[in-house]
Amino acid sequence: MSEALPPAGAIETAALRSDRFRLEREADWQRLEAIVRKMEKGRLRKLTDEELLALPGLYRTVASSLSIARETSLDAATLAYLETLVQRAWFVVYGPRTSLWDWLRGFACGGWSAAVRAIGVDVAAAFAVMVAGTLAGWLLVAQDPEWYFALVSRDMAGARVPGATRAVLHGTLFGNDGQSGMSVFAAQLFSNNAQVSILAFALGFAFGVPSLLLLVQNLALLGAMLWLYHGVGLTLDFAGWIAVHGTTELFAILLSGAAGLHIGRALAFPGRQPVLRSAAAAGQRAAVVMTGVVLMLVVAALLEGFARQLVDTTLGRFAIGGFMLAFWCAYFFAFRGTRGWRERQGATRGRP
């Protein structure tokens, strides 16, 4: 039994309704399509301020038209056109602005160093706190050696304890060139510093106070060990042993503490901005810094696990550590990014 065909009048009515629907809204559709086409072709500079301001509203208007078209069963051609246009506009309005490769290139070619310079005040404050923590650890154990075990756990200390002979402490620094991979102490030290870095950033919301306290506690450990090796005349050798990975790892701790302090300072002193807006802006900068901190910790782990074991001379260790320190300082404070990346950033900041 064949299905009954709709009457000719119904078809004509549906066609008129579809034509009326299109005529009433087609101007907005065409305007949105023109803007989307320019953005898809990378012609951002040809967009006017009015077009950029109208883009979100036009997208919502066309999305609403698509919803109505689906509910009223308009003709298939109109429906397909609106679906395609809404999908294209969504990627322009809400979709990712750059590819992963472009983001990584922008991050490495100026984004990370710019974020570090933006929190320069906090970096300076965190550095001062780290120096104070190192001095505090030294002075505490110099006054009472029992403080050593309050700062350095017995598992981490191993043979590095007050009263150990020069020969024993010398053996902890040299003669490990045949080892492959991390020593137990190296692994424990890296794990401790990684935890400190993460916590120093994560606890920044408490006005930065816990971040600073963590820096003091962690660097007091270093001060205690410096005192221990200084007592047997191995200060320079211990400094070289630390320098291989420490110039990277301690720099990472410095940046993580500064990132946490930056968020805390934005919450405590938001200035003329609302607190939430100030904290959000600070959080964005700090997140970029912490992304780089993770990379620095990975580099420090490789240096700690391999370079320090393979290089068994103080001079060679200082050479590696000094090179890494010079590299990080040059990257963060002298490198200003590639010209193309700076131009893209300038164009972005110039737009609403």
Write down the pLDDT at residue 120: 93
Contacts of 147 (CB under 8 A, 6+ apart): 140, 141, 224
Q: What's the CA gap between 199 and 209, in Å, rounded?
A: 12
Mean per-residue pLDDT of the chain: 82
Q: What's the CA gap between 145 and 225, in Å, rounded?
A: 11
Same domain, 113 and 170: yes
The verdict on residue 245 lying in a domain is yes
Tokens 């024993």, residue located: 168
Kindly report, residue by residue over 309-344, the tens digit of the pLDDT.
788 899 999 999 999 999 999 999 888 765 444 444
Among 93, 126, 142, identify where a domain stops.
93
- For residues 3-27, give the mean pLDDT: 62
Write down the pLDDT at residue 128: 96
Which residue type occupies 347?
A
- Could you tell me the pTM of the whole model? 0.68
Domain containing 35: what range?
21-93
Percentage of the chain beyond pLDDT 90 is 36
Q: How confident is the model at residue 206 (pLDDT cuts 50, 70, 90)?
A: confident
The verdict on residue 4 lying in a domain is no
Other beta carbons less than 10 A from residue 161's beta carbon: 15
Write down the pLDDT at residue 337: 65
Same domain, 226 and 330: yes
Same domain, 36 and 147: no
Same domain, 118 and 208: yes
Write down the pLDDT at residue 157: 84
The verdict on residue 7 lying in a domain is no
Write down the pLDDT at residue 87: 86
Q: How confident is the model at residue 174 (pLDDT cuts 50, 70, 90)?
A: confident
What 3 state SS string does 247-290 have?
HHHHHHHHHHHHHHHHHHHHHHCCCCCCHHHHHHHHHHHHHHHH
CB 85 within 8 A of CB 63: no
